[in-house]
Structures are given as structure tokens and as C-alpha cells.
């Protein structure tokens, strides 16, 4: 399963049941669209190295990006609410290569996986797991894989929410398949277990978890006779710790040329497998074995596809439909219905400027870089005072204008101006002016209170920034000390002994 890296920009298709969204990725950043929108729902205008997203309902998108400046950020986009962005970490992007970003939200818990390798040892990949445990971001080093140029690992969820990590690493002329599981209840990883050996050089792999907790592994291996074999193994009940993996003896298919990528998914209980060679080969399995569904020249554009259905989710390599805009290839054959919402005419759209859109609370602490707070967020205490002040001012202007009109009507031409104005008309402005002065006094007191609160907030912010800088310095020192004491050569000896 080949995925986007720092040099290619493959669009990302998000589907939740039959609802579709589309993430366009280019040199300038990324932009999120729904199935019909011409303007993006959300945009990042910064160069990115890795991007991944997933829908958890028809209106909610989770997005994680690794920027070229090393910032690993998570964003929650929910309906008309303001996107909530969190800076997870700052990674070293100068001397480190990053590949294959995976995002798995589980309620208020967010799981993020990625592979990285140092530029001096590009064939040695390390798998990292970062997750939000309702209070802080945790970091777990999971595995080390030997393979070039891409890391072979896959992350899947079973029906109980446990996370399964599948990895393939090279050992001499053969490959080893390892499994590991994360217990969602206790937030603990089990020990990696070598499951079986694969004869030959693996050139690609993929895996899927069905809605019935059946775990499938697929890989392409270069055989001794020069052909490329598409093989598989399965675990009948992934939730059981004692459930064993069974490698099927016969290959699913054999190809004369190298397989570039494979992708697998389950929709409506049917398994689908796409292999891209010199042709686009699509296979299907209704439970009685794999059968060829379609074979044609490669004419479709490459696509990343993250599909979340009933009890399962798939992050796969796929192709984009040529005719239907922002849809997966063969979507009709897969049984996927693309919902198109009718956009009302422009003159029928009634803007609701006075309504504040509902805000979805972020699952993790959020910050808003380069975003000015909108005026729908004014201070609730200050707004009534300003409205009262304007109302009093309007009353004063109205009474003054009435007095001027009365003075012109009641004043004889030869009489002095002072005798023409009735005494009762001068009393009203005095009362209103007193109320106006009282309102101004209240406004001044309120401004003093707000100024004190702002000064306290700025002081707290400076203290927090100072603490964060100290913490980053300590982390850097610890990393340097860790590198100094690490025994050289032990990692290579582990794999090649």
C-alpha cells in the first residue's frame, strides 16, 4: 500500500457510509471540499510533508498534518463550527525522513502513527505511536523495520476498539511478519510477536479488518522464477489473543510485471482487492474465494481513500473515477452510492448573521494560529453597556431636535430667544444627560475591570511560554544525552545477527 510522501501529492478521498469529502493537496498546502462545493470548507496555506484525515460522521473531519517546518498538528473540523487546531509536537525534518501517516480517532482518544528514518540509515524505519489519553499526549516507540524505500506496516481496529499493528521486515533473502495489539481499555501495547516467515522479497503489503473481526493480510512477493505473486493470510478472530494466523498455500494471482500498489476494503460484506501493475486488476470475494472482476489498462488517477463504514474503517490505495467528480473508481460496482446535495438558488439563501454557529468542544486542548477572534465572540458584559449608551445618546439627540422645532414655532420675531423656550422642554434633556453620564461612568468601570483581567491573562501567558521554553530545552538535552549513551551498532546487530 503506497501512500503519499514528501515528494508526491495524491488527493485524499474521505467517505463516511455514503457521504463524501475530498482533500486536495499541493505545494501550497491542502483544501477540504464536500462533494459539490467550489470553495473549500477548510484550508491550510503552508507547505506540508504528510497529510491524513478521516470522517467520523457526516459532518466531522479529523485532520493531521506534518508541515515542512516540523510542526505535527491535529485539527477537528465539525460542521459550521470554528476548526479546533492542536500543536502535538515539533519534529526534526532536517535529518529525518517521514512516511505513511495514520489517524484513528476513538471518541475523545486520538491515535496517530507514522514511520521515520534517519537520512544516514534510510532503510531502517521506526514506527511511532502518539495518542491523546484525555489529559496529555503520550508517545510510544513501537517497532523497527528494515526495508527500502518504504516502510511496510498497517494499523487496523477490531470491533472492540483494540488496535492491531502488522509489520513486515526484511531478514536476508526472506521477510518476517510481526503482529502487536494495543488494549484500548488499559492503553497498553502487548509485546511484538513473530507470526510467520515469508520466502522472498516483499514489494508491497496491505491488510484489512472485516466487520466480523476477521483479519486479512495481503502481500506481493517476488518469486524465484521472476514473477510476482499476490498472496494472503488470515486470522479468523482477531479479538482472541490465542487466535492464530494461517497463510494460504496458493497465491491469489500471479503477474509478469512488478505490482506498484495494492489496496483492499470491505463494503456491504464483500471484499475487494485492487492491484496496479501494467493493468488495473480488480478482484472480489463474496466468501467463496477470490474472482477476477475487472482488468483494464491503467487510465485512472491515483487516490488515497479513507472509508469508514459500519464497524470498520479502511485507509487504502485506490483510484479516482474519470467521470464522476470526487468519487472512487468502480464505486457503482462496489455498491457505494454517492450522495449529491442540491444547492438552493442564490436568491433563496437567507443568511443568518445574528446566529452564532454551534461550537463542538475539541477533544484535545486547542490553539488558533494566525486566526483573529470574530466579532460573534464579543464580551457579553460589554455589549449591553454599549447598546444602552447608544440608546441614551439617541434619546438626547431626539429631545434636542424637538426643542429646536418648538423654539422656532413659539418665538416671536422681536422677542429674545431666552423667553420663547418653555421651561418644561429644558427639563427632559437634563434627566437624560444625567442618565448618559451614569452610563459613561459604568462603562469606565467596566473597562477598568476588563483591563485588569487582560493584564492577568497576559502575565499568565508569559509564565506559560517561559515554562514551555524551559521544557523544550530539557527535552533536547535529554535527547542528546540519550544519543550519547546509546550503544553503537546494537540496532544493526539486532536485525542482522
pLDDT digits (tens, 9 = 90+) for 416-462: 444 444 444 444 556 667 766 777 777 777 777 777 777 777 777 77
In sequence order, what DSSP letters do the residues of 392-446 get, joined into one string? HHHHHHHHHHHHHHHHHHH--SSS-HHHHS-HHHHHHHHHHHHHHHHHHHHHHHH
Alpha carbon distance 189, 131 (integer Å): 12
List the grid coordinates of 401. 431636535
List the beta bridge partners of residue 168: 152, 177
296 within domain boundaries: yes
149 within domain boundaries: yes
pTM: 0.70
Alpha carbon distance 337, 327 (integer Å): 10
Domain coverage including residue 48: 12-334
Contact criterion met (CB below 8 Å) for 19 and 55? yes
| pLDDT-above-70 percentage for the chain | 75
**Dihedral (Cα; 478, 71, 182, 125), 10-degree rounding:** -70
Mean per-residue pLDDT, 260-275: 93
Top mean pLDDT of 19-23, 103-107, 215-219 is at: 215-219
pLDDT at 235 over 90: yes
For residue 215, the Cα-to-chain-centroid distance in whole angstroms is 25
403 within domain boundaries: no
pLDDT digits (tens, 9 = 90+) for 305-341: 999 877 778 999 999 998 887 889 999 999 888 765 5
pLDDT digits (tens, 9 = 90+) for 118-142: 999 999 999 999 999 888 999 999 9
- pLDDT of amino acid 12: 95
* Contacts with 93 (C-beta within 8 Å, 6 or more apart), sequence order: 49, 66, 68, 69, 70
Q: Indicate the pLDDT class of residue 476, thresholds 50, 70 and 90.
A: confident
376 within domain boundaries: no
CATH number where 30 lies: 2.130.10
18 within domain boundaries: yes
465 within domain boundaries: no
Count structural domains, the chain. Answer: 1
Alpha carbon distance 182, 210 (integer Å): 18
From the number of C-beta atoms within 10 Å of its C-beta (0-12, 13-18, 19+), residue 493 rates as exposed
- pLDDT of amino acid 387: 61
Between 86-95, 110-119, 164-173, 325-334, the lowest mean confidence (pLDDT) is in 325-334
For residue 380, the Cα-to-chain-centroid distance in whole angstroms is 32
At residue 277's C-alpha, the angle toward residues 231 and 223, to 5°, is 40
185 within domain boundaries: yes
List the grid coordinates of 203. 514489494
389 within domain boundaries: no
More confident residue, 57 or 424: 57
List the grid coordinates of 409. 414655532
Amino acid at each position: 500500500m503506497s501512500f503519499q510522501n514528501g515528494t508526491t501529492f495524491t488527493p485524499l478521498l474521505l467517505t463516511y457510509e455514503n457521504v463524501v469529502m475530498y482533500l486536495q493537496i499541493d505545494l501550497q498546502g491542502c483544501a477540504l471540499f464536500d462533494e459539490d462545493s467550489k470553495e473549500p470548507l477548510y484550508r491550510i496555506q503552508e507547505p506540508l510533508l504528510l497529510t491524513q484525515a478521516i470522517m467520523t460522521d457526516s459532518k466531522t473531519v479529523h485532520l493531521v498534518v506534518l508541515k515542512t517546518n516540523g510542526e505535527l498538528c491535529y485539527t477537528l473540523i465539525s460542521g459550521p463550527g470554528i476548526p479546533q487546531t492542536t500543536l502535538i509536537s515539533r519534529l526534526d525534518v532536517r535529518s529525518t525522513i517521514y512516511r505513511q501517516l495514520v489517524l484513528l480517532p476513538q471518541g475523545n482518544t486520538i491515535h496517530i502513527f507514522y514511520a521515520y528514518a534517519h537520512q544516514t540509515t534510510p532503510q531502517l524505519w521506526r514506527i511511532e505511536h502518539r495518542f491523546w489519553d484525555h489529559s496529555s499526549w503520550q508517545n510510544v516507540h513501537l517497532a523497527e523495520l528494515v526495508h527500502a524505500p518504504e516502510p511496510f506496516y498497517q494499523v487496523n481496529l477490531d470491533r472492540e476498539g483494540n488496535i492491531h499493528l502488522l509489520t513486515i521486515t526484511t531478514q536476508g533473502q526472506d521477510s518476517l511478519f510481526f503482529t502487536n495489539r494495543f488494549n484500548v481499555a488499559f492503553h497498553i501495547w502487548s509485546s511484538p510477536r513473530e507470526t510467520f516467515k515469508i520466502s522472498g522479497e516483499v514489494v508491497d503489503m496491505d491488510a484489512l479488518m472485516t466487520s466480523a473481526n476477521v483479519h486479512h493480510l495481503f502481500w506481493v512477493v517476488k518469486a524465484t522464477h521472476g514473477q510476482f505473486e499476490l498472496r494472503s493470510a488470515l486470522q479468523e478472530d482477531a479479538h482472541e489473543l490465542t487466535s492464530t494466523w494461517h497463510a494460504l498455500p496458493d497465491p491469489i494471482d500471479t503477474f509478469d510485471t512488478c505490482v506498484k500498489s495494492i489496496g483492499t476494503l470491505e463494503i456491504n460484506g464483500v471484499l475487494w482487492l485492487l492491484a496496479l501493475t501494467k493493468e488495473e486488476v480488480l478482484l472480489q470475494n463474496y466468501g467463496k474465494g477470490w474472482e477476477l472482476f475487472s482488468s483494464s489498462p491503467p487510465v485512472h488517477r491515483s487516490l488515497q481513500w479513507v472509508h469508514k463504514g459500519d464497524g470498520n474503517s479502511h485507509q487504502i490505495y485506490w483510484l479516482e473515477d474519470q467521470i464522476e467528480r470526487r468519487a472512487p473508481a468502480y464505486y457503482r460496482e462496489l455498491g457505494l452510492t454517492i450522495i449529491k446535495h442540491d444547492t438552493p438558488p442564490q436568491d433563496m439563501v437567507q443568511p443568518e448573521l445574528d446566529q452564532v454557529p454551534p461550537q463542538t468542544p475539541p477533544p484535545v486542548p486547542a490553539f488558533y494560529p494566525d486566526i483573529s477572534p470574530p466579532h460573534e465572540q464579543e464580551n457579553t458584559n460589554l455589549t449591553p453597556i454599549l447598546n444602552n449608551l447608544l440608546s441614551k445618546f439617541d434619546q438626547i439627540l431626539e429631545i434636542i431636535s424637538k426643542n429646536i422645532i418648538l423654539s422656532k414655532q413659539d418665538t416671536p420675531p422681536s422677542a429674545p430667544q431666552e423667553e420663547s423656550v418653555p421651561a418644561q422642554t429644558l427639563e427632559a434633556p437634563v434627566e437624560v444627560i444625567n442618565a448618559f453620564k451614569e452610563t459613561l461612568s459604568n462603562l469606565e468601570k467596566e473597562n477598568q475591570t476588563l483591563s485588569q483581567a487582560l493584564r492577568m491573562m497576559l502575565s499568565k501567558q508569559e509564565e506559560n511560554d517561559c515554562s514551555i521554553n524551559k521544557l523544550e530545552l530539557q527535552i533536547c538535552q535529554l535527547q542528546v544525552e540519550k544519543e550519547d549513551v546509546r550503544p553503537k551498532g546494537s540496532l544493526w546487530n539486532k536485525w542482522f545477527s
